């Protein structure tokens, strides 16, 4: 008797620190078209644990933009800001033997790193583990986790075989800040596992974290991601990644015509076959039917179209 086929599950997980721009739109459309082309579900997650930078009005505008563009998500929206207790519970229950408190300030670490650089060490540590044996409280300090000190590898469906040693590349990363804010690395690992995500398509800038995420999900005993896809980044005319930090202009979804043009532009940048200029829903339906990952393989960047 054959086993039931697992439904592919992908996700789009914007951080509402600003409105969607052409770079984030391209990721949304790529992840949507890809997962729908293989008969999967497309979940929406708001990565809003940083209550200092994330604002409700940006999350609201992202939902409006996605709806106007015909990018309809499956199931309920997950808001990470509503799951802080879950992240803390999983961290303490599954990671405590590998955790330690840290009270190093950024200024202190910068001074220490400068002193190490003067010693001309061949491989200075990413974080020198100054607090590893201090036995500081986990409740009132930053919380770090000791990542694996061996190489991990995976096949990225767009970028090829990847491998790295998480300890040497990232060190003991911070999972929760001293002010209680859960860092992206912990929240994304738990949510990808608990939501049953099977296919992750996201920006190439997150690729350096992937082996560490695999390591953390193993620590947490969460299901492994089946397939990874790291998309080439949209870059502006100065060669910078299109981002809120680089003042990327928000998309304008105020009319159906503008939405249709945005979809056409994104698909062109993603090197996909042309679709007929139509309603957003019909354009996406055609884009899903002819979606092709091959033109994106081994690409590092996408050219921003005017």
What CATH number did the domain enclosing 61 receive? 3.40.50.620
Residues 213 and 283 in one domain: yes
- Supply the DSSP symbol for 21: B
Q: Is residue 78 domain-shared with residue 124, that is, in the same domain?
A: no
Element holding 67 (H helix, E strand): helix 56-68
Specify whether 203 is located in the same domain as 259.
Answer: yes
Taken in order 92, 98, 103, 105, the sign of the CA dihedral is: negative
Look up the domain containing 160 and give its range: 95-176
What is the bridge-based pairing of β-strands 174-176 and 142-145? antiparallel
293 within a domain of the structure (yes/no): yes
Last residue of a domain, one of 146, 176, 206: 176
Shared-domain flag, residues 196 and 169 = no
User: In terms of domains, do 199 and 268 share one?
Assistant: yes
From CA 258, how far away is CA 8, in angstroms rounded? 31
Do residues 74 and 199 share a domain? Answer: yes
The model's pTM: 0.93
Tokens standing for residue 97 = 């033997």
User: 102 and 220: one domain?
Assistant: no
Rounded Cα gap, residues 109 and 30, in angstroms: 39
Domain edge (last residue) among 120, 150, 176:
176
Residue 38 lies in a domain: yes
Distance of CA 240 to the CA centre of its chain: 19
The CA distance from 262 to 267, in Å, is 9
Q: Which two tokens stand for residue 140?
A: 């009132």
DSSP state of 241: B
Are residue 101 and residue 192 in the same domain, yes or no?
no
Contacts of 125 (CB under 8 A, 6+ apart): 116, 171
Domain count, the chain: 2
One digit per residue, pLDDT tens: the chain, 306 residues?
444 568 999 999 999 999 999 999 999 999 999 999 999 999 999 999 999 999 999 999 999 999 999 999 999 999 999 999 999 999 999 999 999 999 998 887 877 777 766 666 556 668 889 999 999 999 999 999 999 999 999 999 999 999 999 999 999 999 999 999 999 999 999 999 999 999 999 999 999 999 999 999 999 999 999 999 999 999 877 777 777 776 689 999 999 999 999 999 999 999 999 999 999 999 999 999 999 999 999 999 998 876
- Distance from C-alpha of 174 to C-alpha of 23, rounded to nearest angstrom: 27
Is 1 inside any structural domain?
Answer: no
The strand pairing partners of 229, in sequence order, are 201
């Amino acid at each position: 008797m054959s086993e039931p086929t697992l439904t592919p599950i992908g996700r789009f997980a914007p951080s509402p620190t600003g409105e969607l721009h052409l770079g984030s739109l391209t990721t949304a459309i790529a992840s949507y078209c890809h997962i729908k082309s293989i008969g999967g579900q497309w979940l929406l997650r708001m990565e809003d644990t940083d209550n200092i930078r994330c604002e409700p009005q940006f999350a609201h505008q992202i939902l409006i933009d996605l709806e106007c563009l015909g990018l309809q998500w499956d199931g309920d929206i997950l808001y990470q800001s509503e799951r802080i207790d879950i992240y803390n519970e999983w961290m303490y229950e599954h990671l405590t033997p590998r955790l330690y408190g840290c009270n190093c300030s950024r200024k202190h670490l910068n001074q220490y790193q400068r002193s190490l650089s003067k010693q001309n060490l061949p491989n200075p540590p990413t974080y020198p583990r100054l607090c590893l044996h201090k036995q500081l409280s986990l409740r009132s300090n930053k919380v770090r986790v000791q990542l694996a000190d061996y190489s991990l590898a995976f096949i990225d469906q767009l970028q090829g075989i990847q491998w790295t040693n998480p300890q040497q590349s990232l060190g003991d990363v911070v999972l929760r800040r001293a002010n209680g804010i859960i860092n992206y690395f912990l929240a994304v690992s738990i949510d990808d596992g608990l939501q049953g995500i099977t296919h992750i398509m996201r920006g190439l800038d997150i690729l350096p974290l992937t082996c560490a995420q695999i390591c953390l999900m193993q620590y947490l005993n969460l299901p492994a991601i089946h397939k990874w896809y790291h998309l080439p980044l949209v870059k502006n005319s100065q060669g910078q990644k299109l981002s809120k930090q680089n003042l990327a202009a928000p998309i304008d979804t105020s009319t159906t015509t503008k939405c249709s043009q945005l979809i056409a532009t994104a698909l062109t940048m993603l090197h996909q076959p042309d679709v007929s200029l139509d309603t957003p829903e019909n354009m996406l339906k055609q884009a899903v039917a002819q979606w092709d990952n091959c033109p994106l393989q081994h690409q590092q960047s996408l050219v921003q179209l005017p």
